[in-house]
Chain A
Amino acid sequence: MRASGDAMHEAGIDNGDVLLVDRALTPSHGNVVIADVDGERVCRRLWKQGDSIKLQAADGVTRDIHPNEAAPIVFWGVVSTVIKSLLG
């Protein structure tokens, strides 16, 4: 997948980077994940303690995503690798 946006810069993912996403992995606390929330697909870091989960951006500014009944978090995969272009 190709990344669009800057909210994951501090996690090493910049606008235009190519992400290798492994669908077979089970997302665990601290993983950078691809997930669908309310019909939109986002790339965020997974925060997970017991049954409680949320999706956090890496920039400290963008608001956390909390699942609710109307908009559950549906995991798509775990980002395993980032490919960067050095030529822009």
Chain B
Amino acid sequence: MLDGSPVESNAQATSKSEPTSSTQVGDGGELQVGDNIESRSSLESRTEAENVEGGRIGATATGGKFIGATTVDEGEGPKTQEAESNSRASAASATGLQENEELTEKNHDGGVKRGGGSTGERDDIDMQDVETGGKEQRVDVTMGDVNSDKSAIEPDAPVNTHVTINVTKFGDTTSTHSTSTATTTSHAITASQTATTTRAAANASQDTTATSQAVGHPGTGGSAIASTSTNGVFGASLSALTTPVASDVGCPQWLQNMLEYLRQSSTEPSWQDLVTELVAHEKASRVSGVSQPLYCNKGLLMNFGRKCPPPFVLPRSRPGSKDIKRTFP
């Protein structure tokens, strides 16, 4: 893509959670089977952090392009906890996509922080800092490292789980015209958690405890775009895409269907200007129809006629005269 600019997915999740069941985290230091920290993308990318099982933290990421980062920090705390998930998404793109979704999950003394950048063709997932209460232990899980050592976390100790998932894209950049959707779900903190999801722009509902959708993808209309950065040559902020471009209104329907795809091809300002010019071009040529000159007006045709040699006119002659024989031998 044109974007070489940094892209940050600032899906941050902070939830206050208090484990109440076997799916709890932090009430004995065990992460039960089925406690999943899952990040997934609906289209190209799918990232999953799952199988947090008694200190075993699994993270899988299958090739995708999405931006997102998740830091799960679950600390030792009281038995009753509330899960509060704040997902903040700001409207992104002319197609109603969103960006800057933050989802925060906090434990009583900890929190789930989600945020990060994106680089690379594929997702990089780092899960690290698995801390056990009092005895902090870290388990660093990198992409593809699904299984961390179960013994890394003592089973009986309260668990401070600090999981960081960094999903990056476009290596060195912080901008994303993001082509995928990342959904991060933390089932590990589920149970009695109540998710409060705030979405600024989309209709997408999040019923999971901690769900973060970051980064939209062409074709995933309505998905969130997570981006915070506006740096770099190609670092045009996707905030420019948060609201529909006024000039896009009124263009032909066939172009309207493609605008989302074109707009999301790059955040480069010149590219956005190019699409805008294309829309204006097509709006002007709407009357002329397909494959006809854009400015086919009367004056233009008059100029064309004047440039042409005068039309051939048969010499007038009276009927029956000999002129006809001379004209048509």
Mutual binders A and B: no
